[in-house]
Amino acid sequence: MKRVIFLVDMNAFFISCEMAQNPELKGKPAAVAGDPKKRTGIILAANYEARRYGIKTTMLIHEARKLCPDIILVPPHHGLYEKNSREVMNILSRYSPVVQQNSIDEAWLDMTGCEALFGKPVKSAERIMNDIMNELDLWCSIGISENKFLAKMASEVKKPLGITELWKNDIREKLWSLPVREMYGIGKQTEKALTGIGIYKIGDIAKSDPQFLIRKFGKYGEEIYHLANGIDESEVEINPVSKSKSVSRTTTLPDNITDLEYAKTVILRLAEDVGAEARKQNCKGKTVSITIRYEDFKTITRQKSVRPTYLTKEIFEAGTKLLEDNWDLCRPVRLLGISLSNISDDESEQISIFNMNDNIQECTEKEEKLEKTFDKIREKFGADKIKRAVVLKDTL
């Protein structure tokens, strides 16, 4: 049976959530931004009316106002976006038991064999789009294909409210003429390396000697060769975390920062998400890493070993120690991230010298129960309903 894979991509998600909550923003150029009172804040998401003026994500606020003096700026409400994301995923789960969330605003669905229930792929996509629009007042685009890569590429073709099919038979006509930068997974540095050897289009990758690409880029060269030829055998997985062996979260900051204490509160928020996801999968990790990206886009990563854990408290403590050891007051930071890796779901690997002591073991078990209770409260009532004191202090 031919596979049928959807990629559902929410359109301008953050600002769309704000417009759904405040309809007065509709039809007007608007964007979610860092502190709108500060010139140094950045645009986090712009609606399509604002994009017509050339306003883009990460643009400085004062630059956006030059392009569109009347733009309406609203501060981010991450709890709202997380709540709407969960509701979108709940809608998608009505159509397929196999939904793999790729980010807060997009997910793959394996729709193989669902025609008898929901009709042809395009008809199913229309139903999904209408459900999301009618129930949440949000827009999406949907890519349809026989694998995850082509579905993702198809979802980018028409925005907003686009439904696009891209099958293997279509790639010569619809895919190969695109610049390599438009290929999912290829960033600026890879684009530069490819164009440096005369590869400008996706079709150029597809027609290259795979051994040449392997010599130039290693295993990644073989991967992009297969993808450019429409070959992707990866499965849509409900819980891919245990295979990826890591859980990570990053955030681009609304303003460049040099304040270490504020950076710690950001790391805590990210550690909450990392810990919750790891607990959801019942996977403990032995390595905590942080990512720091400076205003000049230079990026560093640092890591340290910890006892096997999925506790937010322990992930956060390791992350803050790494921050303290590597913080540079003279270099403004624009992005922070934290990850838990070296993960295993094998309970036999969870016993270590650190938890052989009965008192330590008892404290750990209490902490695990407490954090899992937090998870249930947040899942039911929203992420903003329960916060740690350090976060509340920062917001007062």
Residue 201 sits in a domain whose CATH number is 1.10.150.20
Residues 205 and 263 in one domain: no
* pLDDT tens per residue, range 291-335: 999 988 788 999 999 989 999 999 999 999 999 999 998 899 989
Same domain, 306 and 176: no
Per-residue confidence band for 147, with pLDDT thresholds at 50, 70 and 90? very high
| CB distance 304 to 287 below 8 Å | yes
Whether 358 shows a pLDDT value over 70: the answer reads no
- Domain identity same for 184 and 67: no
User: Is pLDDT at 9 greater than 60 in this prediction?
Assistant: yes
Q: Determine, yes or no, domain membership for 234.
A: no
3-state secondary structure (DSSP) of residue 90: helix
Which residues constitute the domain of residue 376? 241-395
Mean pLDDT (whole number) for 87-112: 93
Q: What is the mean pLDDT of the chain?
A: 86
Quick one: 278 and 327 in the same domain? yes
- List the 43-46 sheet strands across, edge first: 43-46, 30-33, 72-74
Chosen domain end from 166, 189, 213: 166
Judgement on whether residues 197 and 287 belong to the same structural domain of the protein? no
For 63-88, what is each residue's pLDDT tens digit?
A: 999 999 999 999 988 889 989 999 99
Under the phi-then-psi rule, with left for phi > 0, alpha for psi from -120 to 50, and beta for the rest, what region is 335? Answer: beta
Q: Would 235 be classed as within a structural domain?
A: no
pTM of the model: 0.68
What is the number of residues in the chain?
396
Assess whether pLDDT exceeds 80 at residue 40. no
Query: How far is it, in rounded angstroms, from Cα 377 to Cα 368?
Result: 14
pLDDT at 283 (0 to 100): 84
| Residue 106: active-site member | yes
Degrees to nearest 5, angle at CA 255 with 251 and 256: 90
Give pLDDT, residue 35.
Answer: 66
In a domain, 233, yes or no: no
pLDDT of residue 301: 92
pLDDT digits (tens, 9 = 90+) for 324-337: 999 998 899 989 99
Share of the chain above pLDDT 70, in %: 84
In a domain, 330, yes or no: yes
Task: Give the relative orientation of helices 312-326 and 358-381 as an angle to the nearest 10 degrees.
Answer: 100
Triad 92, 97, 101: Cα angle to 5°: 55
Give the model's pLDDT for residue 378.
56
Most confident of 217-221, 357-361, 391-395: 217-221
Extract the tokens encoding 93: 């789960």
8 Å CB contact between 52 and 34: no
Q: Which member of 18, 24, 82, 106 is catalytic?
A: 106
The answer to the question of residue 338 being in a domain is yes
Q: What is the pLDDT of residue 346?
A: 45
Q: 221-261, pLDDT tens digit by residue?
A: 999 999 999 999 999 988 654 445 688 898 888 788 999 99
